Each structure stands twice: as structure tokens, then as C-alpha cells.
């Protein structure tokens, strides 16, 4: 079956209308009905093709800048995300929904975070790889993987490491292949309000970025990555343990503890981790140096991480 994202706007009569009626052409719809589509953008996420269908060019121009680096040549999408306006709402709310699913309506300053969430859901539904909630950096051809719970400071620490010769490849989602190599999912870096004044080397870019509100009510700004998303073997793995006070240090971590940290950060789309996933994680850890970073002060944490990755 051929799918055209703009099929919902086909006027009555003509060959396109006839194709719709006989089922050879399928309109792009959500649970609210056929989508209103004026323009589309095709994005590539870890080999997956996602088509964004915008109601008008103004919506595209407002939301695409954060994801423009993911744009690729137009082609048939593996999945679709629809972006609409609420014609009956004077507040200018924006609706975003996946194909054949419900549309979520948000204020304009909440739309970019919601679009990122929808694209992440698409990726999780289609990928054959293990996904890790982690940050990935590269220095001298080796990969540094940062693991930690929400609020551990992965994005801030990863961005702050750039002046020490690290290139930030992903601050949020890392893809693990069946052979244990790591590939970054290159969404823009998400910086929470508390980190904006801590990253002096990015000050101009942060100050010039638009402010957005996430569903968890946190204000964020998005900035660009400094590294590519090429597949790499893990060289160093750090589990972050952020404290209210105290010195920065890296302590030894047992193989079982770092394996457990990988499991907590992992999502594979399966109810239970398969033997293949465990083998991929074992391959990821093989030859890597790992430890637990305990820290409260960012500058001191940068010093100990940089030394750790030089030894």
C-alpha cells in the first residue's frame, strides 16, 4: 500500500480521490481523524526514518530548528508524527501525535519537548537495539559512557567535559548493538535551568537558545552536539553518584555492580532481557575501565574524570 502524508487534503474528484476510495492510497490520520498536512520533514534516528507531518510551514519553522541536524532526504517513513494546530483555541495550542494514535495538546513553549518524546517512542517501538539512558562522549577515539539516575547530572557533566577534549555525542540515549558497540542517538543536548550558568564555554549558545517547558515542569534549553554518532567501543564507564556535599572521587566498581547499572539504564522492547542482551552488555564491558564517580562540585568532578580517562 502506498502512503502519502498529504492524502487527507486531496480534493473531491480526480485520480487521488479515486485511489483513496479504493484503498490504494491511505490518508495520514490520528485518532482524531485525517491530518491536515501542508509540509513534511524526514528525520533519521539510528537508521530509522521518521516523517514529521506539519499542518503549516510556520509550525515546521518553529519546531524544526532543534532537530534540523537529523533531517535527511525525503523517503517513505518507518513511522509518522503529526503536528497540528487547535483551530478552536485562541491560545495557539499545538497538537502532536503518532499515526493512528491520540494527539496530545500543549502550549507552544511545551511543543519541542513533546515532539522529542514522540520521536523517542517511535524509536523504542521500532529498534532492534538495546537503548541505554546514558550520555556518550568521545576522546582520542575512545568512548566515555556516563550512567546515572535522573538528576545525577549526566547532561551537565557531559557538556562541561568538552573543554577537556571530549566531544559530546549524546546526553540522553545511547544505542547498544548486539556486539556491544555504542552509538549515540543525536538528539540536541537538554540543559536544565540550574546548569545554564555553569557552562561558561557554551554561554552564548545557551543564552541564545529558546526556553521550553518539559512535561515534568522543568525549564530546559537545547544546544548542539559536538561529536558525531559513529559506533564505538566503550573505553571508560562511570556510574554517577551525585551528593549534596563532599569531595569528588572515583572508586572501584565491581563487575556485577557496573553490570547492574547497565541493566537499570537499559530498555530492549522485551518483557525480559534475552540472552543476546546480556551477551551484548558483557561485550560492552569487556576491555573497558569502570568506576563510580561521587561528586558534588562540578569543577572537581571534571578534574577527576579527566585524570581517570588518561590513566
**pLDDT mean values, one per 10 residues, the chain (311 residues):** 41 45 61 91 92 96 95 92 85 92 96 96 88 95 93 95 96 94 94 96 97 96 93 96 95 95 85 84 96 96 95 69
DSSP assignment of 145-198 equals EEE--TTS-HHHHHHHTGGGT-EEEESSEEEE-TTS-EEE--PPEEEEGGGTTT
β-strands 189-192, 219-223 pairing: antiparallel
Enter the pTM of the model: 0.88
Give start and end residues of each alpha helix (H) in the chain.
Answer: 14-22, 57-63, 111-126, 154-160, 203-208, 255-265, 275-285, 298-308
C-alpha 234/C-alpha 226 separation (Å) is 18
Query: Is residue 29 a contact partner of residue 100, using CB atoms and an 8 Å limit?
Result: yes
Query: Is residue 93 a contact partner of residue 86, using CB atoms and an 8 Å limit?
Result: yes
Buried b / exposed e along 113-134 (16+ C-beta atoms within 10 A): bbbbebbbebbeebbebbbbbb
Q: Nearest-CA neighbor of 120 among 221, 51, 207, 45? A: 45
Q: Nearest-CA neighbor of 116 among 52, 60, 187? A: 187
> What is residue 270's predicted lDDT score, i.e. its pLDDT?
67
> What is residue 111's predicted lDDT score, i.e. its pLDDT?
97
Would you call 103 helix, strand, or coil by DSSP? coil
Would you call 121 helix, strand, or coil by DSSP? helix
C-alpha 84/C-alpha 93 separation (Å) is 9
Q: Nearest-CA neighbor of 96 among 104, 87, 88, 107? A: 104
C-alpha 290/C-alpha 305 separation (Å) is 11
| Length of the chain as a residue count | 311
Amino acid at each position: 500500500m502506498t502512503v502519502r502524508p498529504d492524502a487527507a487534503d486531496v480534493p473531491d474528484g480526480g485520480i487521488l480521490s479515486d485511489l483513496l476510495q479504493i484503498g490504494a492510497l491511505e490518508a495520514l490520520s490520528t485518532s482524531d481523524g485525517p491530518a491536515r498536512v501542508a509540509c513534511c520533514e524526514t528525520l533519521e534516528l539510528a537508521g530509522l526514518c521518521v516523517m514529521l507531518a506539519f499542518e503549516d510551514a510556520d509550525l515546521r519553522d518553529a519546531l524544526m530548528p532543534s532537530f534540523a541536524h537529523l533531517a535527511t532526504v525525503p523517503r517513505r517513513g518507518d513511522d509518522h508524527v503529526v503536528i497540528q494546530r487547535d483551530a478552536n483555541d485562541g491560545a495557539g495550542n499545538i497538537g502532536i501525535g503518532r499515526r493512528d494514535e491520540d494527539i496530545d495538546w500543549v502550549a507552544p513553549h511545551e511543543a519541542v519537548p513533546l515532539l522529542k518524546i514522540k520521536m523517542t517512542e517511535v524509536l523504542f517501538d521500532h529498534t532492534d537495539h538495546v537503548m541505554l539512558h546514558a550520555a556518550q562522549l568521545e576522546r582520542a577515539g575512545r568512548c566515555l559512557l556516563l550512567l546515572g539516575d535522573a538528576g545525577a547530572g549526566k547532561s551537565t557533566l557531559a557538556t562541561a567535559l568538552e573543554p577537556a577534549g571530549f566531544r559530546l555525542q549524546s546526553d540522553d540515549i545511547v544505542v547498544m548493538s548486539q556486539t556491544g558497540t555504542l552509538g549515540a542517538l543525536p538528539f540536541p543536548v537538554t540543559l536544565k535551568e540550574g546548569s545554564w550558568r555553569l557552562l561558561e564555554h557554551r554561554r552564548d549558545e545557551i543564552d541564545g537558545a529558546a526556553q521550553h517547558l518539559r512535561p515534568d515542569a522543568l525549564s530546559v534549553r537545547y544546544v548542539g552536539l559536538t561529536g558525531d554518532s559513529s559506533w564505538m567501543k566503550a573505553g571508560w564507564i562511570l556510574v554517577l553518584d551525585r551528593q549534596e556535599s563532599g569531595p569528588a572521587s572515583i572508586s572501584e566498581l565491581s563487575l556485577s555492580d557496573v553490570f547492574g547499572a547497565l541493566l537499570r539504564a537499559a530498555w530492549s522492547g522485551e518483557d525480559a532481557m534475552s540472552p543476546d542482551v546480556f551477551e551484548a552488555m558483557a561485550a560492552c564491558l569487556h576491555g573497558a575501565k569502570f568506576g563510580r564517580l561521587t561528586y558534588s562540585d562540578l569543577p572537581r568532578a571534571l578534574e577527576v574524570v579527566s585524570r581517570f580517562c588518561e590513566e
